[in-house]
């Protein structure tokens, strides 16, 4: 099992206002606990021992909230300016590992299937074939929140649907190898560019998530999940 993870926690959460007016998006309560706690609890149960979070917007709230947590080793990567999803990870690579590591969106909320998604991704990983392995959610099983078909899964390979007519949605969880960043921009850039590059080299793979996953980006979606 791979032992390190990175949580993208620096975003402004603008689409989720007014909930994010007073706290960063990973701290918004879902099912009576912050999104961030749900993610960390699942990481711990899966055996991940080290996690790095990038921070920017209202970072002091996250730092204070996690100050007493001792069940996982936590490192903070403070950003003076927003580095986007790719730049944020690259800026913190020194806190991670030379082995593949998990990356989780700070607003990801999901339930597990028979086996946790981190174990399933690790078991599926094939180093000589893959640079990125995505957790993908069938949009037909997205009931509470709207699914967008941004990916197609074909014989294990993930292909981005630029018209969003695919049958899968990227669920905000992936396993990736640090070699991805060997040739990448400095400063701010999107992780999506690395996904597209891996796809062009047939090194972007996907795995269907067997539990539920909810896309929480608006107040309406948050309320639907909390009321379910």
Q: What CATH number did the domain enclosing 181 receive?
A: 3.90.550.10
Are 160 and 199 contacting, i.e. CB atoms less than 8 angstroms apart? yes
With a CB cutoff of 8 Å and minimum separation 6, the contacts of 200 are: none
Are 9 and 52 contacting, i.e. CB atoms less than 8 angstroms apart? no
Give me the phi and psi of 102, to 5 degrees please: -85, 145
Per-position DSSP letters for 59-114, written without gaps between them = HHHHHHHHTT--SSEEEEEE-SS--HHHHHHHHTGGGS-SS-EEEEETT-EE---S
CA distance 24 to 153: 33
Q: What pLDDT is recorded for position 103?
A: 98
Q: What pLDDT is recorded for position 113?
A: 87
CB atoms within 10 A of CB 153: 18
Cβ-in-10-Å burial (0-12, 13-18, 19+) of 123 comes to exposed
* pTM listed for this prediction: 0.95
Tokens 């990973």 correspond to what residue? 26
Q: What pLDDT is recorded for position 3?
A: 96
CA distance 160 to 137: 14
| C-alpha torsion sign, points 219, 221, 226, 228 | positive
Q: Which domain holds residue 103?
A: 4-227
3-class secondary structure, 1 = coil
The DSSP symbol for 187 reads S
Tokens 């007073």 correspond to what residue? 22
- Segments of the chain with pLDDT less than 50: none
Tally of domains within the chain: 1
Reduced 3-state DSSP string for 117-174: HHHHHHHHCCCCCCCEEEEEEEHHHCCCCCCCECEEEECCEEEECCCCECCEEEEEEE
Are 132 and 176 contacting, i.e. CB atoms less than 8 angstroms apart? yes
Rg (CA), the chain: 16
């Amino acid at each position: 099992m791979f032992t390190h993870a990175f949580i993208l926690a620096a975003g402004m959460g603008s689409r989720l206002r007014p909930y994010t007016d007073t706290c960063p998006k990973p701290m918004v309560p879902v099912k009576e606990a912050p999104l961030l706690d749900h993610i960390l609890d699942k990481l711990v149960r899966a055996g991940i021992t080290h996690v790095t979070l990038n921070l920017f917007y209202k970072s002091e709230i996250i730092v204070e909230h996690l100050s007493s947590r001792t069940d996982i080793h936590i490192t903070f990567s403070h950003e003076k300016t927003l580095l986007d999803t790719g730049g944020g990870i690259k800026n913190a690579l020194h806190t991670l590992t030379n082995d593949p590591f998990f990356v989780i969106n700070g607003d990801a909320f999901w339930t597990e299937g028979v086996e946790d998604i981190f174990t399933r991704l690790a078991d599926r990983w094939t180093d000589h074939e893959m640079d990125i392995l995505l957790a993908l959610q069938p949009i037909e099983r997205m009931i509470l929140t709207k699914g967008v078909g941004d990916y197609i899964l074909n014989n294990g390979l993930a292909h981005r649907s630029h018209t969003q007519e695919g049958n899968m949605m990227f669920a905000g969880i992936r396993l990736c190898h640090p070699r991805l960043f060997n040739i990448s921009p400095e400063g701010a850039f999107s992780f999506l560019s690395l996904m597209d590059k891996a796809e062009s080299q047939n090194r972007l793979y996907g795995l269907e998530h067997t539990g539920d996953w909810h896309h929480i980006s608006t107040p309406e979606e948050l309320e639907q999940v909390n009321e379910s």
